[in-house]
Amino acid sequence: MVRIFVEGEDDKKFIIVFLRKLLKDKAVDLGNNTNFDDLITIMGNKSKLLKYENYANTSLLVGKKIKKALFIFDCDFEKDNKKCNGIEKSQECFDKLKDKLKWTIPIDNYIFYKNLDYFIAKTIGKEHCLLEIEKCLELNTLKPNRKPLASLYAIMYPKKPYNLEHDDFKKIKDKLIDLFKGIK
């Protein structure tokens, strides 16, 4: 079995949309396991996802049940000047976590550009809309890193998935396909 670790519920929903698409395209084979929930663990937020202590239980599953792992999280905003923000610092923090975990299974990671909302907005060519909404409603000042677009998009277009064919999705798509390779 594989396990994907994400920050929150929105990330999980997005990954499930993606997995469904990959399954439909026969790009991945999930075998008998059609319970997507079983493949994904919500860690709560980025700090919790990058905190070694939060994997004490999961480590007991590694090697037995979990044979491969993929960590997906936001790089967030460099301007916030937090320890693990921005692509480089996010990757550094994750590499430290990986070293500490000492899991003897293949581990990979994928970091979203800014956050899932920006990433999605960019792939549907509407990043300017998001910036406009954020600016107008002062969303950043209220609650940074909320995902209004992902939520709105899902409500307004429940049957229309994100443009998963967009080039920006290629990297995460390849990582997901790779994750399921060689898994019985």
Residues at the site binding other proteins, with contacts judged by CB under 8 A? 1, 33, 35, 37-38, 40-42, 57, 60-61, 64-65
Least distance from C-beta 22 to other proteins, angstroms? 20
Judged by beta carbon, residue 57 or residue 81, the one nearer other proteins is 57
- d(CA 29, CA 112) in angstroms, rounded, equals 24
Least distance from C-beta 120 to other proteins, angstroms? 24
Least distance from C-beta 41 to other proteins, angstroms? 6
Least distance from C-beta 35 to other proteins, angstroms? 6
Residue with tokens 């929150």: 8
What's 91-124 look like in SS3? HHHHHHHHHHHCCCCCEEEEEECCCHHHHHHHHC
Judged by beta carbon, residue 133 or residue 183, the one nearer other proteins is 183
Least distance from C-beta 65 to other proteins, angstroms? 5
Helix (H, G, I), strand (E, B) or coil at 163: coil
Judged by beta carbon, residue 43 or residue 172, the one nearer other proteins is 43
Greatest CA separation for the chain? 50
Judged by beta carbon, residue 47 or residue 91, the one nearer other proteins is 47
Q: Side-chain half-sphere of 89: how many Cα atoms within 13 Å? A: 15
Judged by beta carbon, residue 60 or residue 177, the one nearer other proteins is 60
Contact 42, 34 (CB under 8 A): no
Instruction: Give 33: exposed, middle or buried? Use CB within 10 Å, 0-12, 13-18, 19+.
Output: exposed
